[in-house]
Amino acid sequence: MNEGNVHNMRLAHNFMVMYNAEKYIKERCHTISFSQNYDILGHGIEGSNHPAMWAHYADKSNGVCIVIDKETFIAQNKDILSQHFYKFEDVEYSLFNTPDDKEIDYEATTPEEFIKNNWKTLFYLKHKDWANEDEHRLFIMDYEDKLSIDGCIKYIVLGRKLFLDNARIKEILDIIVNPNSVCYRKFIPHSFATTCYNTYGYDTFEIAFKILEVVRTNISNPLYADYEKWLIEEQGYK
């Protein structure tokens, strides 16, 4: 709600540049937001274990959380990122929607320059009410296409309600076992996890046993039979 809000700053200091910067931001700047690992009273918690995030962004635990390896993601997209201005940093949280005025660099002759000079105050400052998200954000200018996550996924956490529904797990596996899918043979049972609510919040734990159970229940399907053979012969499953 606050990001890229040039009007929170002093427009009179450089009116036309800042006015055009707001239009530039809406049309040519983009962000991708991630939740990262965090700490509660000395306990390290994985970013996939935010109870509020599961409720807010994952349809009350009916969705999924895709865990991305940041360094692999950057390497996978290095050719694109090297051609554009981008930042990949933590979001900072404050009680104020605008930083101290002395932190803003108003000396710019173009909207692009103004944004590059003030990327942190424009895109990495959020109200403290959002602090529980522990957000880590990618900001990029002048790129309209997609970025690849091929080979960057560490694992996929299934929402608790999804995990309890074998039919919905089969929908996911139907894609993974299909030779025509871009996901074909890229995920093994240990690529999946789910969350478990306990006295400390949520824990993430692997659910390979559940994935294998669904695979073997559908072994009469040739695609599943081929997938299980691949798991046994090439991945060492028994």
pLDDT per residue as tens digits for the range 9-18: 666 677 788 8
The reply to whether 79 and 173 lie within a common domain is no
Please tell me the predicted confidence (pLDDT) of residue 10: 67
Residue 52 lies in a domain: no
One DSSP character per residue, 123-166 reads HSEEEGGGGGG-EEEEEEES--S----TTTEEEEEEPHHHHT-H
The reply to whether 165 and 229 lie within a common domain is yes
Identify the domain boundary among 111, 141, 171.
141
**Lowest mean per-residue pLDDT among 34-48, 139-153, 167-181, 220-234:** 34-48
Residue 90 lies in a domain: yes
- Report residue 99's pLDDT band, with 50, 70 and 90 as the boundaries: low
Residue 58 lies in a domain: no
Identify the domain boundary among 81, 109, 141.
141
Q: Strand, helix or coil at 80? A: helix
Residue 151 lies in a domain: no
Please tell me the predicted confidence (pLDDT) of residue 12: 62
Tell me: pLDDT of 103 over 80. no
Residue 146 lies in a domain: no
Identify the domain boundary among 141, 173, 202.
141
Percent of the chain at pLDDT above 70? 92
pLDDT per residue as tens digits for the range 43-91: 788 888 888 888 889 988 899 999 999 999 999 999 999 999 999 999 9
Tell me: pLDDT of 6 over 80. no
The reply to whether 130 and 204 lie within a common domain is no
The reply to whether 133 and 164 lie within a common domain is no
Residue 62 lies in a domain: no
What is the domain range of residue 76?
6-47+68-141
The reply to whether 36 and 76 lie within a common domain is yes
The reply to whether 115 and 184 lie within a common domain is no
Q: How many domains does the chain have?
A: 2
Please tell me the predicted confidence (pLDDT) of residue 183: 93
User: What is the average pLDDT score of the chain?
Assistant: 89
The reply to whether 172 and 201 lie within a common domain is yes
Please tell me the pTM assigned to this model.
0.86
- Report residue 218's pLDDT band, with 50, 70 and 90 as the boundaries: very high
Q: Strand, helix or coil at 106? A: coil
Residue 147 lies in a domain: no
The CA angle 210-195-38, to the nearest 5 degrees, is 145
The reply to whether 102 and 171 lie within a common domain is no
Strands 153-158 and 64-68: antiparallel
pLDDT per residue as tens digits for the range 144-168: 999 999 999 999 999 999 999 999 9
Tell me: pLDDT of 101 over 80. no
User: Looking at the chain, how many residues does it have?
Assistant: 238
The reply to whether 11 and 87 lie within a common domain is yes
Spatial distance between the Cα atoms of 60 and 193, rounded to a whole number of angstroms: 17
Tell me: pLDDT of 4 over 60. no
Please tell me the predicted confidence (pLDDT) of residue 90: 95
Residue 176 lies in a domain: yes
Please tell me the predicted confidence (pLDDT) of residue 37: 87
The reply to whether 105 and 186 lie within a common domain is no
Q: Which helix (H) or strand (E) holds 88?
A: strand 86-90
The reply to whether 76 and 136 lie within a common domain is yes
Please tell me the predicted confidence (pLDDT) of residue 180: 97
pLDDT per residue as tens digits for the range 171-196: 999 999 999 999 999 999 999 999 88
The reply to whether 117 and 14 lie within a common domain is yes
